[in-house]
Amino acid sequence: MLLIACPWCGPRPENEFHYGGEAGIARPPDPSAVDDAAWADFLYMRSNPKGRHKERWRHQFGCGRFFNATRDTVTDRISGTAKP
Amino acid sequence: MTQPFRLATGGRIARGREIGFRFDGRTYAGYAGDTLASALLANGVHLVGRSFKYHRPRGILSAGSEEPNALVTVDRGGGRIAPNLRATQIELYEGLTATSQNRFPSLGFDLGAAAGWFGPLLSAGFYYKTFLWPASFWARLYEPAIRAAAGLGKAPKQADPDRYVHQYTHCEVLVIGAGPAGIAAALAAASTGVRVMLCDEQSELGGSLLTETGAVINGKPASEWLADALTSLESRVTLLPRTTAFGWYPDNMIGLVERLTDHVGIPDPNLPRERLWQVRARAVILATGAIERPLVFPHNDRPGIMLAGAARSFVNRWGVAPGRTVAIATADDSAYAAALDMHRAGVTIAAILDQRRKPGPIAEVARMAGMIVQADARVEATSGGKRLSAIGVSTGRGTIECDTLLMSGGWTPSVHLFSQSRGKLRFDAAIGAFLPGEPAARVRCAGACDGVFGLAACLESGYAAGETHTPRTFSVSGAPDTAPSAPPEPAAPHPRAFVDFQNDVTTKDLSIATQEGFRSIEHVKRYTTSGMATDQGKTSNINALATIAALTGRSMPEVGLTIFRPPYTPVTFGALAGTARGALFDPVRHAPLHDWATAHGAVFEDVGTWKRARYFPRPGETMRDAVSRECLAVRNACGIFDASTLGKIEVVGPDAAAFLNRMYVNDIASLPVGRCRYGLLLGEDGFVRDDGVIARIAEDRFHVTTTTGGAASVLHMMEDYLQTEFFDLRAWLTSTTEHWATIALQGPFSRSILERLMDGTDLSTMPHMSVRECHVAGVPARLFRVSFTGEAGFEIAVPASQAQAVWDALLAAGSPTPYGTEAMHVLRAEKGFIIVGQETDGTAIPADLGFGAIGRNKPDFVGKRSLTRPDMLRNDRRQLVGLLTEDPKMVLQEGAQVQILPSWSGATMTVGQQSLGHIASAYWSATLGRSIALAMVSHGRQRIGETMLVPMPHATIRAAVVAPVFFDPNNTRLHTHRHSPVNGAIPPAAGAVPTTTRLNVRAPATATAAIGLALGVLLGSVPNRAVRARDRAALWLGPDEWLAIAPASDPDLRARATAAAHGASVVDVSDAFETIEVAGAQAAWWINGFCALDLAPHTFPVGMCTRTLFGKVEIILWRTATTVFHIETGRSYAPYVRACLDEAARQPTAEKGTAHPD
Ligand SMILES: [Zn+2]
């Protein structure tokens, strides 16, 4: 069970958290202006890197906040967390 | 009773306490302190099992957890059967009953030993080669035959009656292994005043000190030094004997299994059998020792052949001679210590055969003691049936008669946990094994597992690892001080030279694998199954590696090791499950009217973790009878239904309408105060996620319902959008699912009945899809004029504590018929109303369900853009339709496929094998006197009027496609009200008097001061801290969220706080929670049975509060005093939390100084 440093609550056990996918995928401000291919990219295409991965987590069973974490997908180590 | 091989003196056994036990039906005697292995050896029993593939007779190889051969089944009666236990770890108790495994009909005469005759058939890769064809033979013939012949103990068929528990704990230093290095490490760490835990898999702490009976440490005999050390540790360190550290998990979380009762004849019923610890350790010290390697020579597996170090333990620790005439084969100096100790104990040493050309100086000591030592001598053959009788020595040096052969091929440091922690291993050529290298976690290694040998060096390395600034030296005498050797050069492959005893893998198997081109150690392992047995190759991996290296002309580090994975030794399913079985497997949630439903004969169904009343059968009624009666009552009179499990979210704030307008497909922005609207929620991908009713209570306040199963995920999704996408909007969310009980009153009499409970209020002015705040039966309520049945109806939301009183009043006012979820399903299906998760399967978009027009004019909402992606516009999508079977009595099966009729083209018939859809819902409709079904069918709306086929198990059914509304398509029933003829005496509502006001406050920093003033308690800004003021408290739950708790004697508190909350949210959740107080010295320990937080007073001080996870449910945990915790739990979760705490309170603690029983 990972120990994840919530930016508000400090280090907490992984079972209090909810994984939220890759970070930095912003919803287009005007979706109707986006063509089908770009919208499909927004919906489904993720970088899925080997190594450092910026991702969203939510302290679901804690303060409830979403925040960003950098996790290495090879070692499963979280190198840092930050308020969004 | 005699124990012919028990030595006259010595050992740590209690000779005054003779213990009777049974093995394979025979009765033997041993002593308290024996293991099953030492007691069997004391009785001269070496044959204890049959091997996995070849059914070869096998004896006891080792004295510890690495044992590959001596696996037995222990039956304690009443279903307490444990197979595959290592006899070397089973502690003797009066009446112990053990049996050998994998033999038929008996251990001495085994038919399966015939497998040895066609041994070549079962060599490496036999699974893959022999049984390739035909495939059907595999399932019917080969596999059952192999499974019957090859195997371990049998899994018990009965449920396990024992209890198992989990425990989370935190410490600064966890020491694994309580040999000399571990004890020294614990002493050093304890002197720094931090939390230290010391665990060891053995029954006694001490490790090799228990065998080094001749050693003297700092002037004291080893046993005395050990006793003093343990006494000194007892008060400061959590000591855990019989506790295996089985796995290393991320961020220094270590899994331990503590065995609490297996060593006791009649255990304390309050003790769990095993406790699984999840220890979060700031630093871990590994003092896991080393495991001796066997030598590999032909027929090296006969009973009587044993590791030299194990034999030394049997002599010194248990006072047992493994045999009368003992030969020793070694490639390592350590075997000489065994020889010398046995010689002293009076055992005849026939010869010491040292494979090395130049044995170490200790060989001279043996010679001076009168023993024959032969250098450059190997064992090349052994003989004997069920017991060794002689060995053949290399280079024509003849045969030596002996009943026991001790062997030592050097020592392999136990780096399992270090490797699991992802630390790099480095190869040490001098000892021919891998050692801890670069660590990847906060871990330190000490003693033999770090390549440190010799008692003084182990003690010193342990003390240094314990991290004190004052290194300590130990003066030691009387213990061997030899460094281990590398494994000897492997001999030529032989079909009966065993490398892996437990899986019967020989050097011949390894050579077959390499000849067939397998080079990677991982591939050779899988092809030969070497190292894949339950012992995970503890005694075999290095020998296998050395053999493969020699066969492929590579060095051992070039070949490399296979990856170490948890568990170190097998872990029971019971320990892994812990208390999460039976009633505590999952929380069972009861709605507020559950007790009434139970008392009135309801049949329940599981909906998520809720129990919901499905129908209320009267005597003699079948399910269809009851459901039909309930449906007709709603259509013709009035029904009453507990809808409390529906999710509810209060959305509050100046931008609440704008937020909901962006989230839901429907137009919420234009919804007037006092009105309700159906809401369809999509994912961004356009697929339907949830639906419900959105009611506007005030300009800035909405009461939103979700499906029962969607309550948590919808709240999560809304929070996600509010926090990360629509953060420009000032809106806040509060779950009110558990606060409100919802009673549906449906049918033409509903208005007439309800008016009687509202002091004659005229409800005729209340339009369909409207809401008002009012009193029902004197209870403050939110009254919704909504209908999920198609009849005129209401849903009455009242605080959960008042639900029963209001329900009783409604029954008294007009005798509505209670109905359950099944009637609810039928009634809504008659009207074609969908249920998310029944008509939708995660791939339905609004247009598929006939909602294509909704939201079309809105510029945006979540998922809207996806609705114009090409796939969403395809005209062959599955669409919601009705199906009417040609035979009106036939009820289709939900999930059945829908196909087209066969068509003819000339003489060719095309049969519609392709599924064009499926049945989503199908019921008997009493209203219509026939069956109905809703289906999702490709081109469905175009097919209305066609006949289609539905294949069912016994026949293919013809059904007509119709519009998905079977009853009252013009909705006239919604406005059909009739006067209820029943008018009973209405009792005054007498609900439980609430004792606590709980308000969920969500506010920006700018609003907290004013709200705090109104509440009479500050909303603190320090995370996870509660502020108390007189009789009330405000618990920080998040940077914009507090739970205010106040006595119920302040009834206007909510109104005052709401008025003060400009641009913020105050929501009454008084009835959503129950309070559980956990008090006492053990309070933190009990909570840590289910909660992974560090509850030490310095990390979770008085005044700290947080949401967290308790078992499988969310709680709010608040420490109000050093030994008092205040828990707020959702009211439906409270029974689960209480039951968990009761379970935790049943088990005694294992905190500092209280462990180490006996
Ligand atoms: Zn947090």
B522-541 pLDDT, tens digit each: 999 999 999 999 899 999 99
Residues B103, B93: Cα–Cα separation, whole Å: 25
CA B310 to chain centre: 36
What residue spans define the domains of chain A?
3-26+34-82
pLDDT bucket at B127, cuts 50 / 70 / 90: low
Q: Give the pLDDT mean for B307-334.
A: 97
Among B268-272, B296-300, B456-460, name the one with the lowest average pLDDT: B268-272
Using the predicted structure, report yes or no on whether residue B881 has a pLDDT greater than 80. Answer: yes
Q: Give the pLDDT mean for B182-195.
A: 96
Using the predicted structure, report yes or no on whether residue B782 has a pLDDT greater than 80. Answer: yes
Residues B754, B980: Cα–Cα separation, whole Å: 10
Using the predicted structure, report yes or no on whether residue B114 has a pLDDT greater than 60. Answer: no
pLDDT tens string B551-593: 999 999 999 988 899 999 999 999 999 999 998 999 999 999 9
| Amino acid symbol at A29 | P
Residues B853, B1125: Cα–Cα separation, whole Å: 53
Query: Burial of B231 by CB count in 10 Å (0-12 exposed, 13-18 middle, 19+ buried)?
Result: exposed
Closest by Cβ to A8, choosing from B719, B1039, B1093: B1039
pLDDT tens string B728-766: 999 999 999 999 999 999 999 999 999 999 988 899 999
Using the predicted structure, report yes or no on whether residue B119 has a pLDDT greater than 60. Answer: no
Torsion sign over Cα A26, A27, A33, A34:
positive
Q: Chain B closest CA to A4's CA: distance in Å?
A: 9
Among B127-141, B271-285, B858-872, name the one with the lowest average pLDDT: B127-141
Using the predicted structure, report yes or no on whether residue B621 has a pLDDT greater than 70. Answer: yes
Residues B862, B870: Cα–Cα separation, whole Å: 18
What is residue B542's three-state secondary structure? helix
Q: Give the pLDDT mean for A41-62.
A: 97
- Residue B250, chain A, CB below 8 Å: the answer is yes
Q: Which fold has domain A3-26+34-82?
A: Folate-binding fold (3.30.2270)
- pLDDT score for B220: 96
- pLDDT score for B737: 98
- pLDDT score for B1153: 40
Residue A12: its chain B contacts at CB < 8 A?
1093, 1108
- pLDDT score for B1154: 38
Of B316, B484, B312, B318, nearest to B326 (Cα)?
B312
- Residue B990, chain A, CB below 8 Å: the answer is no
Question: Inter-chain contact B440–A61, Cβ cutoff 8 Å?
Answer: no
- pLDDT score for B1042: 98
Ligand 1 centroid vs B317 CA: distance in angstroms? Answer: 53
Residues B85, B90: Cα–Cα separation, whole Å: 7
Total-model pTM:
0.94
Q: Chain A closest CA to B1045's CA: distance in Å?
A: 18
Query: Burial of B1098 by CB count in 10 Å (0-12 exposed, 13-18 middle, 19+ buried)?
Result: exposed
- pLDDT score for B907: 75
User: With pLDDT > 70 as the criterion, what percentage of chain B qualifies?
Assistant: 94
Question: Inter-chain contact A15–B1106, Cβ cutoff 8 Å?
Answer: no
Q: Give the pLDDT mean for B178-191.
A: 97
- Residue B1088, chain A, CB below 8 Å: the answer is no
The answer to whether B497 touches B300, Cβ cutoff 8 Å, is yes
Question: Inter-chain contact A76–B250, Cβ cutoff 8 Å?
Answer: yes
Residue B1108: its chain A contacts at CB < 8 A?
12, 16, 61-62
* B751 vs B114, residue with greater confidence: B751
Of B416, B196, B417, nearest to B1152 (Cα)?
B196
CB pairs under 8 A between A and B: 96
The answer to whether B731 touches B722, Cβ cutoff 8 Å, is yes
Per the listing, tokens 């949401």 go with B1107
Question: Inter-chain contact B1109–A75, Cβ cutoff 8 Å?
Answer: no
Residue B1037: its chain A contacts at CB < 8 A?
63-64
The answer to whether B779 touches B991, Cβ cutoff 8 Å, is yes
Task: Write down the mean pLDDT value for chain B.
Answer: 93
Q: Give the pLDDT mean for B679-708.
A: 97
Task: Write down the mean pLDDT value for chain A.
Answer: 96
Closest by Cβ to A75, choosing from B422, B1041, B1109: B422
List, in order of start, the domains of chain B with CATH numbers.
Answer: 1-160 (3.10.20.440), 164-290+413-477 (3.50.50.60), 295-408 (3.50.50.60), 585-645+740-831 (3.30.1360.120), 646-736+844-858 (3.30.70.1400), 875-966 (2.40.30.110), 996-1145 (3.30.70.1520)
pLDDT tens string B367-410: 999 999 999 999 999 999 899 999 999 877 889 999 999 999 99
Query: What is the interface pTM, i.e. ipTM, of the complex?
Result: 0.98
- pLDDT score for B270: 87
pLDDT tens string B910-923: 666 688 999 999 99
The answer for residues whose C-beta is within 8 angstroms of residue B458's C-beta and 6 or more apart is: B179, B180, B181, B184, B208, B446, B447, B448, B452
What is residue A84's three-state secondary structure? coil
State the Cα angle at B1091 between B1090 and B1092, rounded to 5°: 125
Q: Give the pLDDT mean for B47-58.
A: 90
The answer to whether B134 touches B35, Cβ cutoff 8 Å, is no
User: Which tokens go with B996?
Assistant: 């606590």
pLDDT tens string B349-368: 999 999 999 998 999 999 99
pLDDT tens string B66-104: 999 999 999 998 889 999 999 999 999 999 999 998 777
**Which of B383-397, B601-615, B1139-1153 is the most confident on average?**
B601-615
Residue B1024: its chain A contacts at CB < 8 A?
9, 63
What is residue B812's three-state secondary structure? helix
Using the predicted structure, report yes or no on whether residue B118 has a pLDDT greater than 90. Answer: no
C-alpha pair distances (Å), A49 with each of A18, A22, A71: 20, 10, 10
User: With pLDDT > 90 as the criterion, what percentage of chain B qualifies?
Assistant: 84
